[in-house]
Amino acid sequence: MNIEKLDTSLSKQLFGDGFAWGVSTAALQIEGSCDADGKGQSIWDTFSSRKGKILNGDKPHIACDFYNRYQEDVDLVKQLNIPNFRFSIAWSRILPNGTGEVNQAGIDHYNNLIDYCLQKGVEPWVTIYHWDLPQALEDKGGWTNREIVSWFSDFATICTKAFGDRVKNWMVMNEPAVFTGAGYFLGIHAPGRTGLRNFLPAIHHVVLSIVAGARILRELVPGANIGNTFSCSYIEPYADKPRHIKAAKRADALINRLYIEPLLGLGYPTDEVTALKGINKYILPGDEANMSFDFDFIGVQNYTREIVKYSFFTPYIGASLIKAENRGVELTDMKWEVFPPAIYYMLKKFDAYPQIKKLIVTENGAAFPDVVFDNEVDDQRRVIYLQNHIQQVLKAKQEGVKVEGYFVWTLTDNFEWAEGYHPRFGLVHVNFDSQERIIKASGHWFANLLR
């Protein structure tokens, strides 16, 4: 069945009653209150204080003030008919020093948030780690220090015991390829480290930590729905020539396969990216038994596609991306190509792994230049973007792909990491001076879809 236009009245009929519709957020990007009620510093608090690291010198210290306004924003989730709300736990709000004494005020905050969601009939979906490592642990080596497997296990245990009686849907970590690649190899995200000497140990310790966290959830939360989310981009070669095709395969291995395959028990893709073979020295006896987990679902997070060409001058992978702005295609404010079929192709790609039971699109959305006029935001480009991408999800589902959910990124405009407050992804506009919220046309459209 080909659906050229998604009729909002047919959404439940087409996707089914069990399809999980939701919206995703992250603690660092929305909470603010960076040092309130005993919270410790995170690597992003530190990184954003360094000159030139964040666009326009922006800082996440206030963000959307969600820490104080969570009831207002959960009310918006309910008003938009969104049944599932994904958020993360700030590690340094629970453990200000990363380990040791628990900050009860942090536990109380998330208990209050979870309870308010349930009171409003909104199902909480919790991500344990969404990039905001406590600075105190980074000072000890962060993800390059093997001890972090134990540190993360302690944090996951605390979260599970505190919230597992009410939260049944869990994601262990968000987009490991991004926070290790950008933070420990390229240095463009916190903590700003570079090189293989940081990247390779971080990869392996993250894999071990994800499995450790998932096993803790399985043991302590009966009936938990446990997953992990993975960033992915549809990769195409620049031309139908062997060198470009091989370059695209190397890029695909690094961008799309680096974490999902070891976590499914398939090992690291070292055949395609030989520079990854250096990871072997960090794999200790007994590690292989602790590198895979039988997840209940895999979170797919896709925004765009990339065109890749062979590049002799690019170290390690011999491939480079052709920037979307040089290809004459429609762009978002992140300078990402608008290419809805990408999400279809990535769902098909992940579905081909026989170990995967279920897929959920845990992030998809777009940043466009929104304008407030007469207290309204008529963001039709975002409406079209969401509609076209949801159509592609439906196409995959109708072809038998095991996709059982779709979460929009994101609820409110927020702090977008190194891009600061410039890119606006939200269904709800935020005035960062007054903290006033305005539901955009895209928010009303999504609410109608889910009504």
Q: What are phi and psi of 291, to 5 degrees?
A: -110, 0
What's at 57, amino acid-wise?
A: G
101 given a catalytic annotation: no
Catalytic residue among 138, 175, 236, 337: 175
Catalytic residue among 306, 337, 363, 416: 363
Distance, in Å, from the CA atom of 133 to the CA atom of 147, rounded to the nearest integer, reads 14
Cis amide prior to 242 (ω within 30 degrees) = no
Distance, in Å, from the CA atom of 56 to the CA atom of 262, rounded to the nearest integer, reads 38
User: First and final CA of the chain: distance in angstroms?
Assistant: 23
- Specify which residues 437 forms β-bridges with: 430
Q: What is the DSSP string of 108-176?
A: HHHHHHHHHHHHTT-EEEEEEESS--BHHHHTTTGGGSTTHHHHHHHHHHHHHHHHTTT--EEEEEE-H
How far is CA 279 from its chain centroid? 24
In the block, tokens 């439940």 appear at 12
CB atoms inside a 10 Å sphere around CB 33: 17
436 given a catalytic annotation: no
| Residues taking part in catalysis | 175, 363
